[in-house]
Amino acid sequence: MTMVHSRYGVEAARPEIWVYLEREPAGGLAAVSLELLSKARELADEAGWPAAGLLFGEAVEGLAEEAIAHGADRLMISQHPELATFRIESYAATAYAALMAFRPSIFLVGATPDGRDLAGRLAVRLRTGLNADCSDLRLDLERGVLISEVSGFGGGVLALIEMAHHRPQMATVRPGVFTVTPADPTRRGEVVPVDYQPGTESWRTTVVEHMIGERLDLTQTPILVAGGRGIDGQFAMLQELADLLGGDVGATRPPVDEGFIERERQIGQTGIVCRPKVAIACGISGAFHFLVGIQEAEIVIAINSDPNAPIFDSADYCVLADVHQIVPALTAILRAGARPGKQTLVAAGDPQVPAGREGKRRRGDDV
């Protein structure tokens, strides 16, 4: 079996980590790009490498300061009217030219619709591998090899994948996996112009109109009210509570598969990874592939009628009661403008803390 060689190999690659920077419709850098910049900065500091951002658009030089403040040592930027809107032909051609010119060892991309499209095409052109939908990244400092953590079989298998002989080492990472580190306005970096490449020989798309609609982004919600099989598809009940708390609704995989709620609200290893201040798990058993989606929540509150539900082992606060009684009672209290109290909740649903399972406090903070 003959191995296909990448466009540039290990010896030709520069010890540098690049991040493809997506833009929000409003004009700033996308949250996933800031998350990846933060992770790239962490890995680069461990290895003693520089970190760089790759940014395309029209008149986007104003974003250089934001990228540098979040960890970029260099910002590779290509500006052209044709780059104002994502079009895969010109974006892929320009990115390919930049990667071949500078030859970074690692190239990270957000696992968004545009990011997946771009990363796949670049991997083929560069004749390298692509680790898709990663849940974690680490660096083997001795070999300079990126190790990507990827789940499979509904979260039942966790694989560690590496590319020892191909460059660049490419990976896409889902939004919400990494934390955005605070911006450092004192950081200084270099802005490097990159030539625009039209890629006209393969244009198959024409942008007729750019419309911005509402977009759900559970990775940014401060309060997550998540429902599982135990709520019997009654997500309207959870939505009412979430609205009062200023949050949004998520779900485990079974209600999504059964059609009770849209798939973009699926939380977990095969869905969305969230970092809410508070996650309220309603009627959720607590399978591992769901818990991955809320493991970075500051506070987890679990409501379940099964005293042996695994979710209680991962929650900060446990309520042993019927979710169909507790949630409406809590909603009524919030609508009345009162603060929920222990006596009120006991009267509504007779909740208890499971014996010997007071809630696993995963942090030492007082909450």
Q: For residues 350 and 346, what is the distance between their CA atoms, to the nearest angstrom?
A: 4
Whats the size of the chain, residue-wise?
367
| Residue of 187, 2, 12, 18 lying closest to 96 (CA atoms) | 18
Beta bridge partners of 157: 152
pLDDT(278) > 70: yes
Strand-pair category, 299-304 with 248-251: unpaired
**pLDDT tens digits, one per residue of 13-23:** 999 999 999 99
The pLDDT tens digits for 130-168 are 999 898 999 999 999 999 988 765 556 778 999 999 999
Identity of the residue numbered 266: Q
What's the rounded mean pLDDT across residues 311-332?
93
Tokens of 17: 């980590």
Contact 206, 167 (CB under 8 A): no
- Residue with tokens 């135990």, as numbered in its chain: 230
Residue 242 pLDDT exceeds 70: yes
Average pLDDT over all residues of the chain: 86
What mean pLDDT comes out for the span 41-68?
Answer: 95
Q: Give the model's pLDDT for residue 65.
A: 93
> Taking a C-beta distance cutoff of 8 angstroms, is the pair 81, 143 a contact?
no
Is residue 187's pLDDT more than 80?
Answer: yes
- Provide CB contacts within 8 A for 342, sequence distance 6+: none
pTM greater than 0.85: no
Listed range (36-40, 144-148, 345-349) with the worst mean pLDDT: 345-349
Question: Which of 318, 302, 304 has the alpha carbon at shortest distance from 357?
Answer: 318
Neighbouring-strand partners of residue 17: 51, 106
pLDDT band at 215 (very low <50, low <70, confident <90, very high): low
- Count other C-beta atoms under 10 Å from residue 183's C-beta: 17
Q: What is the mean pLDDT of residues 54-61?
A: 93
Question: Above 90 in pLDDT, residue 273?
Answer: no
